[in-house]
Every structure is written in C-alpha cells, then in structure tokens.
Amino acid sequence: GAGVSQTPSNKVTEKGKYVELRCDPISGHTALYWYRQSLGQGPEFLIYFQGTGAADDSGLPNDRFFAVRPEGSVSTLKIQRTERGDSAVYLCASSQYRSTDTQYFGPGTRLTVL
Amino acid sequence: DAKTTQPPSMDCAEGRAANLPCNHSTISGNEYVYWYRQIHSQGPQYIIHGLKNNETNEMASLIITEDRKSSTLILPHATLRDTAVYYCIALPFNQGGKLIFGQGTELSVKP
C-alpha cells in the first residue's frame, strides 16, 4: 500500500515569507508526528497528533510554527515569517494508534530559506 | 536529550556481521529499546525493538543485556545497502510515541 507522502519535496523561500508543508499519512493511521532534521543531526521532535488534536506540541520551537490536522488524516505544518535558521528537512511520520506502534516516515520536505 | 549513546561511526565488510552497540544506562523500566536507520536522503526506517528479551526479525537481531543498560543491534550479513545512520532510542510505552533521536552511528559497509 501507499506509504507516507510529503509535498513539496523541496521548497525554497525568502526570509520573512510564509510556508506550508503537507503530510499525507498512511490510511487508517490515527497518530501523526512532525520532526525536523538539520544537517548532520538526528531528527528532532516537533509535534504529535492523535486524531485531530495535538496531543504534544512541546517540540515546536516558537509561535511562528503551527500545525493542523482538521479531519484526522492530512496534516499541514505552517511556518510564519521564516528565518534562515528554519532551513532543514521536515519529516512526517504516522503510526496506527499506540505510542509503541511503529512509526512510518515520509521522505521529508527540504526547506531552504534564503 | 537522548538517553542513549552510540559510537559516531563504524565500518563493516560486506557479507560480515555488523554489531552496533548502544549504551542506555539510565533507561527506565517502562522504556523499550528501539532501533531505526536512515539511509542517505530518506526518512528513518524502523528496524526492531525490545523490552528485555532478545528479539529477531527478518532485518536484524537485538541483544539486550540482562541489566538493560546496553544493547547490540546485529545485521547478520551486511550488504552495501545497509550503509546508513543507525539510531538507538529509548521509548516509554505510555508517553505518546515521541522519538528522541541522538546522533546515531554512521555504518559504512565496504566491498
């Protein structure tokens, strides 16, 4: 079956602009995670959804970052007033339900802020 | 901060077993040991996990010491396609599944 997909695969934007990154999880998966990976580092947790609600957003770095999952499937990560330090690969993962269920990752969106 | 420590890099000859160590001396009783790997330019991929017993699946074996303070991931017959960064993660089974990645071990399988 289809895996986790993310669009766009690459996004180049200018400092101060607004961007949206989309994640399509595996059908039927209720849990969805966003991570961010800077060059040479391991992925860093941002936010976790269980269904439509954000169960844990402790990893969002500041209030410029926001994520939604209005119907409990597709999720959008929104970044306002982008900064050069936001440049990274943004990864999305989904899992069935329990916290110990395997997370399946998408290929990521590479965001470059000029 | 990650609760695990791993060597930054390792080499392995193609066809030989790759043994990747992980130290998790502060692991709690409610935390599983998970292993993921990340091939260049791809998202992480689940490999295996365990609580206190040794585990084996089609990809790898996981050996956890009796005191649970360390573990070893074994790829029995490494291939060039196993070249990747391998992450060892301690995951509580009742806190939402947030994965805390460390730096991982960069495994290079050489012909």
Mean pLDDT of B83-88: 98
Is the distance from CB of B9 to CB of B15 less than 8 angstroms? Answer: no
The residue of B98, B101, B105 whose CB has the most chain A CBs within 10 angstroms, and thus the best one to mutate to test that interface, is: B98
Q: What confidence tens digit (pLDDT) does each residue in A9-23 have?
A: 999 999 999 999 999
Does B46 contact A31 at a Cβ distance shorter than 8 Å?
no
Provide the pLDDT for residue A54: 92
Phi, psi of A86 (to 5 degrees): -80, -10
Give the mean pLDDT of A29-39. Answer: 96
Whole-number Cα distances in Å, B68 to A15, A103, B25, B90? 47, 23, 7, 11
* CB-based contact A105 B95, cutoff 8 Å: no
pLDDT tens for residues A86-104? 999 999 999 998 777 899 9
- pLDDT reading at B71 higher than 90: yes
Nearest to B87 among A42, A45, A59 (CB): A42
DSSP labels, A10-77 = EEEE-TT--EEEEEE--TT--EEEEEEE-TTS--EEEEEEETTEEEE-TT--STTEEEE-TTSS-EEE
pLDDT digit string (tens) for A78-88? 999 999 999 99
